[in-house]
Amino acid sequence: MNTATPTTTTISLNEGFLAKRNWMDWVFAVLALAGGLFAFQRYGAFMDVYEKAILIGTIPCAVWLGWFWRPLQKLMVVVAALALLGIWLYQGADGVAHIDRADAVFGLKYFLSSQSAILWMCVLCFIATVFYWIGLFAKGERDTMGMLGSRIAWVAVTMALVGTMVRWYESYLLGPDIGHIPVSNLYEVFVMFIWMTTVFYLYYEQQYNTRALGGFVMLVVSAAVGFLLWYTVVREAHEIQPLVPALKSWWMKLHVPANFIGYGTFALAAMVSFAYLIKQQAEETKWYKLAPLWLLGVALCFEPLAFRQSQATGSSYWLVYFGISALIVGAILAARKPIAARLPAFEILDDVMYKSIAVGFAFFTIATVLGALWAAEAWGGYWSWDPKETWALIVWLNYAAWLHMRLMKGLRGTVSAWWALVGLAVTTFAFLGVNMFLSGLHSYGEL
């Protein structure tokens, strides 16, 4: 009797799992397998054994993600179709792909070249942010405006991923020795940060059936877009460059995405914590009691002005950037009461904050371990106390302490929200400040 029960339970669990799959799930699984085999057959000659292993492992991961959250199925299929269309448009009449067709073919010039797609992402992120905020304040059309913001955010993610995939292909058109996955410099990882943060937010939006947080989260996404546009114009960072020797490693394909899942979810948690504090202070009438929140918000906005110290070009851009950001923070505080009335309950805000940090911490831990292994291969040691490594450790310890206090001491409410918001400043310095002010083995990412 005791041995039969576990067997019966196992069968029941397996049947339940399979029963949840519909025909679209299986069609998606077949498409993912076919796509992986096509990539292996078409581009396998450019891959080493490790990269082939990563591609093989990507197939079941893509299937699982699509089964775990079905909207990702449509996203992956549409991205694959548009990316393949963009690749096809690069083919000339002679059957050979030419990089100069990016400025000659209408579909590439205005939509599907990597730069065009990424610029569309930038515009759509700004528009989505506006619609989310309109939806937060609108009366009769609140659901419509919020839904438009959500759908535009999905399109922005789609264009970001299409731009990333086409950029990957474009790098090989420049030369086999130049081709690489586009996660190697600040321009490319900012694109990754933007779409990853947006996707994670869209997941929580659906899970908690609320769009009220969209305006807050998309603010940090729009801030990243602002940096990306400046970096594109001033540094011409959209130009594809050969990899430096230290980055010519398959470790990069694992370490960098895992790292930016952490950065994206930490930023998401910080903006949710900002919403939490706004809701908490909704009835506060004494402005001096709001001063800490306003000062921290302005301090976060002030960070871009540091670029004036390291970059003479574009200083006026950052002054305007800071001014607009500070005005937004002030406007949110001034309108805190009507905003708070539309925000989810404290329990939901606290739960989103916790889950975002937990997911980010897990992936940031994985990224740190992978980075140590990569360092051992590239530089001969797992840890060298390089400034980037040191600040990565500070970020890790910060969120490890946050999670410890929550799980062991029941940390909730105001303290946890403030801690998560301050954590954004720490993470931002680790992400950008180190590249600006400190030199080291990671100096290839300097501004």
Residue 387 has a pLDDT of 84
**pTM of the model as a whole:** 0.90
Residue 314 has a pLDDT of 54
- Degrees to nearest 5, angle at CA 209 with 328 and 200: 65
For residue 208, count CB atoms less than 10 angstroms from its CB and return exposed for 0-12, middle for 13-18, buried for 19 or more: middle
Residue 11 has a pLDDT of 43
What DSSP designation does 242 have?
Answer: P
Residues in the chain: 447
Instruction: Tell me how crowded residue 244 is: count the other CB atoms within 10 A of its CB.
Output: 12
Q: How far apart are CA 367 and CA 192, in angstroms?
A: 15
The per-residue b/e assignment along 96-124, b for 16 or more CB within 10 angstroms, e otherwise, is ebebebbeebeebeebbbbbbbbbbbbeb
Which residues of the chain carry a pLDDT beneath 50?
1-14, 309-310, 312
Angle between helical axes of 287-302 and 413-428 (0-180°, round to 10): 20
Q: What is the largest CA-CA distance in the chain?
A: 78
Residue 262 has a pLDDT of 95
Residue 144 has a pLDDT of 86
Residue keyed to tokens 């939806």: 135
What DSSP designation does 358 have?
Answer: H
Q: How far apart are CA 34 and CA 32, in angstroms?
A: 5
Residue 141 has a pLDDT of 60
Q: How far is CA 33 from CA 59, 60, 76, 314, in A?
A: 6, 8, 13, 47
Q: How many CA atoms lie within 13 A of 57 on its CB side?
A: 8
pLDDT digits 0-9 by tens, 82-139: 999 999 999 988 878 889 999 999 999 999 999 999 999 999 999 999 999 999 988 7
Residue 443 has a pLDDT of 54
Q: What is the CA radius of gyration of the chain?
A: 23
